Amino acid sequence: MADAKWGMVIDVDKCTGCQACVVACQSENNVPINTEDIFNQRRAIEWIRVERYWEGEFPDVKARFIPVLCQHCDDAPCEPVCPVFATYHNNEGMNVQIYNRCIGTRFCANNCPYHVRYFNFWEPEWPDTLTHQLNPDVTVRSRGIMEKCTFCVQRIRRTSREADRDGREIEDGARELSPACVNSCPTSALVWGDFNNKNSKVSNLAEKEMSHNGSHHGRGYKMMENLGTSPNVIYLKKIDKHAKETVAHE
Amino acid sequence: MQEHVQLTQKQINEDLLTSVLGTPRWWWPALGFFVLVFLIGMSAFGYMLNQGVGVTGLNRPVFWGAFMVNFVFFIGISHAGIMISAILRLTQAEWRRPITRAAEVLTVFSLMSALMAAPLVHVGRPWRADLWVFPYDFARGVWINIRSPFVWDPSAVMTYLTASTLFVLIALIPDLAIIRDRSTGLKRKLYAGMALGFRGTPRQWKLQTIAGILLSALVLPVFVSVHSIVSWDFAVQIGPEAWHSTIFAPYFIIGAIHSGVSAVATLMVVMVWAWGWNKYITPDHLDAIARLLIIVATAWFFFFFLEWVFALYTLEPAEMAMRKLQVFESPWSWLFVVFLFTAYFIPVPMWLFRGVRRSLFWMFVTTILVNVGMWLERFLIIVPGLMRRSEFIFDWGSYHPSIIELAMVAMTFAWVGMGMLVFTKVFPLIPLFDIKEGMVGRDEIRIGRRIVPASIRE
């Protein structure tokens, strides 16, 4: 598993904005409950969030959804600015956060162009009825530290450990391996896997949809590519006959 | 340009030791006020430790706010010390003599305030911040990340703090010896210890002078390094708009000198008002520092203008959106107007008038205005930059500091006031020996028909 390069392909065309991924992520990763009060304070924690944009003028209004999570950039801007190495790149292509080291300078969160790093402004609390619902495989983060999407690293670790023990191979796209958001997506808009495995679904999608040698045929793009962060998340753009091509940065 | 007031050594001793040997009536109430504000701030800090950073106004995406503004502001104020005591000493500006120590002490206490603002109250888990500021735990493999500007910061600030403290201590030795000779009992023993056996022998004077000059020269790199490094906290980031700019380092340095020298001018006026040292800090001194300020302020304004030119030249949508926010959207728009007028357009034209430069009251008002403006300048760089007017309109943010946060901001100001007041009670704020040296070296030379004050140098 050491030479895996985990990544995701998000088909924006398939996303219905149902927020199942958000809820799945919250319960899998012990993310504190975002109450109305927390939202109004603008301190909600959502490791994956579905952003909703309105397009067009009334009555021709269309809702557009885009799920945004940590892009696990190869050249992550959050990593060099942390004074205590609380965030670093592991050898599986993931950007990981070490909660014990974090002292909460919030430097990484400022430097993330995707705004996917979340700070624990308060001590997280769950109602009594939900305390037994917490995932024992995931640390409950205390106040004063940063947290972010881990690609459900606990699932990767458990699955590879069990596979090693039983002497079997892990198949691409196995439910036990995939992050909670991917498993919960009803339209399979999220696809997750190993970019180093040439036969994986994500590799095939990347091969098909991303540009090669300057020619661009597919729908694939990486978010804010102009910043040079080399994300490991590929977005496939929406299919819309009436949409006009706009170029933001050239 | 400086008029001659010849004072005897006895009179200098009497005048300048008033703050140490006697206690003015206002001293205790003033100290009490600062201590009260400091304690209120500390209670606020305790409340924040107990509850979490949520008690501030910070949110996502505005993760940095008033604390970071304060950090940059106090490092800016601290540039006073190096400007006055190193640059003016090496350029042999005579008018620096009465204010060198005040400037250095201001530096020491404002650096402490800066450290209080940034690592201490700023971070989420202050009880672990020592691992970063004083990295010591290598045995368990807890290394610091030297690529992070937040690691460069403590090393720059600590270097500066060490150098400034040494400056203050070395310049204090002859004066401590004078106090030692005028006190009795335990006090005498304490001062004797601090004076390191100074008896005024030629060899001791020589060593003391050499140490001062050496320190001035050695500390010069700090003049450019400290605020450059502070600016890199922002300039290395690609996340927020308008921060990723190469002009930030020189722009921050010149801004720091602008606010630092202004703070020294404020301090000079306060010293005259508080202890009546008008024979030592004369209108000539204010005139000289105001002339210096006109140059510094204008140089700063030039960099400010260039920063805007560079920003607008890119025509990047996110950058333009942020600039529009700064200038056209309330409340940032009126803060911007207040900043421009207080930091430049009111004080500098006023300093062009001789009457203003030589007036205690007007110098006090204008230099206070400069520092109000410079605090706002940092606020207007940090907060609108973090409001993220980027393509992610879902994440546009805003920020206003909470009362708890403002109490901690006030605490850092109170710390400087408290420190300065206590310092003046223990040590003389105007260096006695430096003034005496100036008196001895005074001369007059004839240039054409005019007789001009001058000083003799070796």
Q: Which residue from A52, A84, A123 is facing B52, i.e. has the nearest CB?
A: A123
The arithmetic mean of pLDDT across residues A187-193, rounded, is: 94
Pairing of strands A118-119, A146-147: antiparallel
What's the CATH code of the domain at B97?
Answer: 1.20.1630.10
Residues of chain A contacting residue B392, judged by C-beta atoms under 8 Å apart: 51, 68, 114-115
pLDDT digits (tens, 9 = 90+) for A14-30: 999 999 999 999 999 99
Which pLDDT band, with edges at 50, 70 and 90, does A118 fall under?
A: very high
Token pair belonging to A145: 């530290």
Rounded to whole angstroms, how far apart are CA atoms B318 and B311? 11
The arithmetic mean of pLDDT across residues A165-178, rounded, is: 89
Predicted confidence (pLDDT) at residue B385 exceeds the cutoff of 50? yes
pLDDT at B458: 56
Q: Is B395 in contact with A106 (Cβ distance < 8 A)? A: no
Nearest-by-CA chain B residue for A143: B52
Q: Is A85 in contact with B129 (Cβ distance < 8 A)? A: no
Which pLDDT band, with edges at 50, 70 and 90, does B114 fall under?
A: very high
Percentage of the residues of chain A whose pLDDT score is greater than 90: 66
pLDDT at B96: 84
Predicted confidence (pLDDT) at residue A43 exceeds the cutoff of 80? yes
Predicted confidence (pLDDT) at residue A59 exceeds the cutoff of 70? yes
Predicted confidence (pLDDT) at residue A248 exceeds the cutoff of 60? no
The DSSP secondary-structure symbol of B106 reads: H
User: A23: burial class by Cβ within 10 Å (0-12, 13-18, 19+)?
Assistant: middle
Interface test with B, best of A68, A84, A88 (most B CBs within 10 A): A84
Residue B403: what are its φ and ψ, rounded to 5°? -60, -40
Q: Is A111 in contact with B238 (Cβ distance < 8 A)? A: yes
Q: Which residue from A51, A115, A123 is facing B388, i.e. has the nearest CB?
A: A115
pLDDT digits (tens, 9 = 90+) for B429-444: 998 888 888 887 777 7
CA–chain centroid gap for B99, Å, is 13
Rounded to whole angstroms, how far apart are CA atoms A196 and A3? 7
The 3-class secondary structure across A189-210, one letter per residue, is CEEEEECCCCCCHHHHHHHHHC
Rounded to whole angstroms, how far apart are CA atoms B119 and B130? 9
pLDDT at B132: 76
The arithmetic mean of pLDDT across residues B156-174, rounded, is: 91
Token pair belonging to A176: 């036990």
Predicted confidence (pLDDT) at residue A153 exceeds the cutoff of 70? yes
Question: Which of A164-178, B77-91, B276-290, B398-412 shows the lowest mean pLDDT across its residues?
Answer: B77-91
pLDDT digits (tens, 9 = 90+) for A225-237: 888 999 999 999 8
Token pair belonging to B263: 């703070």
pLDDT digits (tens, 9 = 90+) for B327-347: 999 889 999 999 999 999 999
Residues of chain A contacting residue B64, judged by C-beta atoms under 8 Å apart: 106, 110
Nearest-by-CA chain A residue for B54: A121
Which alpha helices (DSSP H) does B236-282 contain, by range?
248-275
pLDDT at B1: 46
Which alpha helices (DSSP H) does B183-247 contain, by range?
185-194, 202-218, 220-235
Q: Would residue B230 count as lying in a domain?
A: yes
The arithmetic mean of pLDDT across residues B275-288, rounded, is: 89
Which pLDDT band, with edges at 50, 70 and 90, does B269 fall under?
A: very high
User: What are the strands, taking DSSP E only, across B282-404?
Assistant: none
* Domain carrying residue B321: 9-455
Q: Is the dihedral of CA A220, A195, A201, A155 positive or negative?
A: negative
Predicted confidence (pLDDT) at residue A46 exceeds the cutoff of 90? yes
Q: How far are the Cα atoms of A152, B68, B446, B454, B455 from residue B449, in angstroms, in the given order?
A: 87, 56, 7, 15, 19
CA nearest to B321, candidates B231, B248, B400, B240? B240
* Closest Cα in chain B, distance from residue A47 (Å): 13
**Could you tell me if B264 and B80 are in contact, meaning their C-beta atoms sit under 8 angstroms apart?**
yes
Rounded to whole angstroms, how far apart are CA atoms B41 and B31? 15
Predicted confidence (pLDDT) at residue B137 exceeds the cutoff of 80? no
Question: Which of A7-21, A136-150, B130-144, B229-243 shows the lowest mean pLDDT across its residues?
Answer: B130-144
Q: Is A77 in contact with B397 (Cβ distance < 8 A)? A: no
Pairing of strands B450-455, A118-119: unpaired
CA nearest to B294, candidates B350, B359, B255? B350
Residues of chain A contacting residue B397, judged by C-beta atoms under 8 Å apart: 42
Token pair belonging to A242: 């009436």
Q: Is B52 in contact with A105 (Cβ distance < 8 A)? A: no
Rounded to whole angstroms, how far apart are CA atoms B86 and B67? 29
Pairing of strands A233-236, A220-221: antiparallel
Which pLDDT band, with edges at 50, 70 and 90, does B365 fall under?
A: very high
Interface of B with A (CB under 8 A): 51-54, 58-61, 63-64, 122-126, 128-129, 131-132, 142-145, 147-151, 233, 236-240, 316-317, 386, 388, 390-395, 397
Contacts 24+ apart (CB under 8 A), A190-193: A190/A8, A190/A9, A190/A10, A190/A11, A190/A21, A190/A67, A191/A8, A191/A9, A191/A10, A191/A11, A192/A6, A192/A7, A192/A8, A192/A9, A192/A151, A193/A6, A193/A7
The arithmetic mean of pLDDT across residues A119-141, rounded, is: 91
**Could you tell me if A78 and A108 are in contact, meaning their C-beta atoms sit under 8 angstroms apart?**
yes
Rounded to whole angstroms, how far apart are CA atoms B122 and B135? 18
Number of domains forming the structure of chain B: 1
Q: Would residue B4 count as lying in a domain?
A: no
The H or E element spanning position A118 is strand A118-119
pLDDT at A98: 92
Question: What does the domain layout of chain A look like in residue ranges?
Answer: 6-236
* Closest Cα in chain A, distance from residue B112 (Å): 19
User: A65: burial class by Cβ within 10 Å (0-12, 13-18, 19+)?
Assistant: middle
Q: How far are the Cα atoms of B106, B158, B224 from residue B228, in angstroms, in the given order?
A: 20, 15, 6
pLDDT at B80: 84
Q: Which residue from A52, A103, A110 is facing B239, i.e. has the nearest CB?
A: A110
Interface test with B, best of A115, A143, A246 (most B CBs within 10 A): A115
Predicted confidence (pLDDT) at residue B55 exceeds the cutoff of 90? yes
- Which residues share a beta bridge with B363? none
> If you average pLDDT over every residue of chain B, what do you get?
89
In sequence order, what are the residues at sequence separation of 6 or more whose Cβ sits closer than 8 angstroms to the Cβ of residue A158?
A137, A176
The arithmetic mean of pLDDT across residues B363-381, rounded, is: 95
Token pair belonging to A101: 């080291």
The arithmetic mean of pLDDT across residues A214-227, rounded, is: 82
Rounded to whole angstroms, how far apart are CA atoms B103 and B168? 10
Q: Is A106 in contact with B147 (Cβ distance < 8 A)? A: no
The arithmetic mean of pLDDT across residues A118-146, rounded, is: 91
**Could you tell me if B205 and B198 are in contact, meaning their C-beta atoms sit under 8 angstroms apart?**
no
CATH 3.30.70.20 fits A6-236, yes or no: yes
Predicted confidence (pLDDT) at residue A250 exceeds the cutoff of 50? no
The arithmetic mean of pLDDT across residues B218-225, rounded, is: 86
Q: How many CB atoms lie within 10 A of CB A102?
A: 27
* Closest Cα in chain B, distance from residue A170 (Å): 33
Predicted confidence (pLDDT) at residue B9 exceeds the cutoff of 80? yes
Which pLDDT band, with edges at 50, 70 and 90, does A2 fall under?
A: low
Q: Which residue from A51, A101, A107 is facing B148, i.e. has the nearest CB?
A: A107
The DSSP secondary-structure symbol of B393 reads: G
pLDDT at B224: 87
Residues of chain B contacting residue A70, judged by C-beta atoms under 8 Å apart: none
Whether cis (ω within 30° of 0) applies to the bond prior to B331 is: yes
In sequence order, what are the residues at sequence separation of 6 or more whose Cβ sits closer than 8 angstroms to the Cβ of residue B152?
B146, B229, B232
Q: Would residue B2 count as lying in a domain?
A: no
ipTM: 0.90
CA nearest to B413, candidates B109, B165, B121? B109
Interface test with B, best of A98, A107, A117, A230 (most B CBs within 10 A): A107
The DSSP secondary-structure symbol of A188 reads: -
**Could you tell me if B453 and B4 are in contact, meaning their C-beta atoms sit under 8 angstroms apart?**
yes
Interface of A with B (CB under 8 A): 41-44, 49, 51-53, 68, 77, 80-85, 101-107, 109-115, 118-123, 143-146, 224, 227, 248-249
Rounded to whole angstroms, how far apart are CA atoms B393 and B171? 56
CA nearest to A94, candidates A169, A4, A179, A164? A4
Q: Would residue B240 count as lying in a domain?
A: yes
pLDDT at A172: 87
Q: Is B53 in contact with A121 (Cβ distance < 8 A)? A: yes
